[in-house]
Structure 1
Amino acid sequence: MVASSFILGSWSHVFALASIALLGYAYMVRVRPWVGGRKVFAERCLGILCLCTYVLSIVAKAISGDCSSWQECLPLHFCAWMELACFFALWFRRPLMCALAYFGVLAASVQGLVTPTLGSDFPSISYFAFFLSHGVILVAALSLPIVFGWRAGCGDPWRVQLIGIAYLACMVPVNWWLGTNYGFTRVAPVAGSILDYMGAPPWYLLSIQVPLALLLYLLYLPVKNR
């Protein structure tokens, strides 16, 4: 069976989203009542899964043929960094890593699930790698406050926004040098995103910061350290 081009809102898209929702809900409901070493073990397992999906994403790009050059196969997209952030957050519980995983995934990476930039549909390795990686970090980000009791400090949203700005600032020269589009600093996602309403590139990188600050604050309210 040959994988066709991915279609937004198709049965395979809905199936992936439903699977992530059901499996994520089952994990959080199952693990939340646990205590002690058993809960720590579940947390570490989820962290390892985040790291495994990071590796899987790299392998999938290398063997799928979706990348036209090696420059486009590098793990430099924001979501790849979020996979690493979720791993470090779940394993080491550093406050900044936890904040980066929670706010970064829910404010930015979740967009990839809504409007995936994906060339190959089910049952390609790219399809499974994409939804598995994005789904796992979403579950990890939600599990930090809901299951494992993490709470955000008052300055965490702004720190994460500054890290995001630093990431974009780094990707601008990288994309110019390699001819790539990491962080979508040159062109908005072809599948559509909020960037379509923020003006022309690269100026949308500036205009997006205002609604992003509001979104980060709204995400902060239910998890703030009282």
Structure 2
Amino acid sequence: MDWFGLSNQSFDFDMFSRNHLIILGIFILITFLIFLNRKKLSDDKWRRAEIGAAFSLILIEVTNQVWMYGNGVWKLGRSMPLELCNIGLILSVVLLLTRKKVMFEILFFIAILGATQAIVTPALKYDFPHFRFIHFFYAHMMVVWVPFYFSWAKGYSLTFKSVIKLTVFINLLLPAILFINKQADGNYWFLRHKPKSTSFFDLLGPYPWYILSLEGLLIVLSLVVWLISRKWNRSVERRSFT
């Protein structure tokens, strides 16, 4: 299955190449525009845009699954949408369609701690204009933009209970991911072994203790995100009344 009819073109992705820097520029620009236009975006006339954005995420993820299957690279142990950023995409869709605050609370942490890091240092093989390049950055940027939109335009905010909800959510999923990894010979969330290449996992101890270290790190970073978010929201509220 040849996307864009460019089967002979090289799509090797280079981090911080021109195309990557353009994407980073677009990401920063639209993030800034969402914040700058937050009062206009608070109007309910944007409801159709929310639903449209949700269906665009569904479409691009379904297309991604079809691409992997059609090109013979779909594997049960690595291609299901079970990584945290994939789960973030699912939460984005549900949040856009339902506006449930609990979805926002969990998604915000995934966006800040996972999706932003993936945008800056992507684990990606394909460069523009390959479909996988477009899918990767569109999906990850939307996972960030959606909670920012609900925070800045709709007034959603985090509380200490949000950290607890995230922890409960992750630990409820954990047994299911472990089971799927065992049955599918996968390594979702790196729960069966560390990445083969050198990574920060090497600082967290041997298997299986690094899993506990990861959970502790998740809680600490989530608390940091909550504290920064609370201070930011208070600062914005003070400026809005002056």
Into which bin does the TM-score normalised by the smaller protein fall?
0.7 to 0.9
Tell me whether 1:93 sits opposite 2:99 in the alignment. yes
Give the TM-score of the pair, scaled to structure 2.
0.78
Aligned to 1:110: 116
Tell me whether 1:33 sits opposite 2:11 in the alignment. no
* Residue identity matched to 1:59: V
Tell me whether 1:78 sits opposite 2:84 in the alignment. yes
Deviation at 1:4, TM superposition (A): 3.3
- CA gap of 1:9–1:191, structure 2 versus 1, over 3 A, is farther
Task: Choose the corresponding residue for 2:182, options 176, 185, 188.
Answer: 176
Query: Helix, strand or coil: the match of 1:150?
Result: coil
Aligned to 1:55: 62
Percent same amino acid at aligned positions? 22
Aligned to 1:122: 128
Deviation at 1:176, TM superposition (A): 1.9
C-alpha distance in 2 between matches for 1:21 and 1:187: 34
Deviation at 1:122, TM superposition (A): 2.4
- CA gap of 1:165–1:5, structure 2 versus 1, over 3 A, is farther
Q: CA RMSD of the aligned region, Å?
A: 2.7
Tell me whether 1:158 sits opposite 2:168 in the alignment. no
Tell me whether 1:219 sits opposite 2:229 in the alignment. no
Tell me whether 1:18 sits opposite 2:25 in the alignment. yes
Deviation at 1:149, TM superposition (A): 0.8
- CA gap of 1:192–1:44, structure 2 versus 1, over 3 A, is farther
Deviation at 1:188, TM superposition (A): 4.1
Moved segments of 4+, more than 6 Å: none
The Cα offsets for residues 9-37 of structure 1, whole Å up to 9 and x where unpaired, read as: 33332222222222333344345324432
Are the aligned partners of 1:60 and 1:129 in contact in 2 as well (CA < 8 Å)? no
Are the aligned partners of 1:6 and 1:119 in contact in 2 as well (CA < 8 Å)? yes
Which piece of structure 1 moves more, 88-97 or 42-51? 42-51
Q: Number of residue pairs matched?
A: 225
Task: Choose the corresponding residue for 1:197, options 194, 197, 203.
Answer: 203
Q: Which runs of 5+ in 2 are unaligned?
A: 1-5, 235-242
- CA gap of 1:198–1:106, structure 2 versus 1, over 3 A, is same
Are the aligned partners of 2:38 and 2:149 in contact in 1 as well (CA < 8 Å)? no
Are the aligned partners of 1:185 and 1:205 in contact in 2 as well (CA < 8 Å)? yes
The Cα offsets for residues 30-72 of structure 1, whole Å up to 9 and x where unpaired, read as: 453244322433433433333334334323433455x263543
Query: Helix, strand or coil: the match of 2:12?
Result: coil
* Residue identity matched to 1:19: I
Give the TM-score of the pair, scaled to structure 1.
0.83
Are the aligned partners of 1:46 and 1:140 in contact in 2 as well (CA < 8 Å)? no
Deviation at 1:192, TM superposition (A): 6.6
Q: Which runs of 5+ in 1 are unaligned?
A: none
Aligned to 1:9: 16
Larger Rg, first or second structure (1 or 2): 2
C-alpha distance in 1 between matches for 2:108 and 2:53: 14
Deviation at 1:222, TM superposition (A): 4.6
Task: Choose the corresponding residue for 2:50, options 28, 43, 54.
Answer: 43
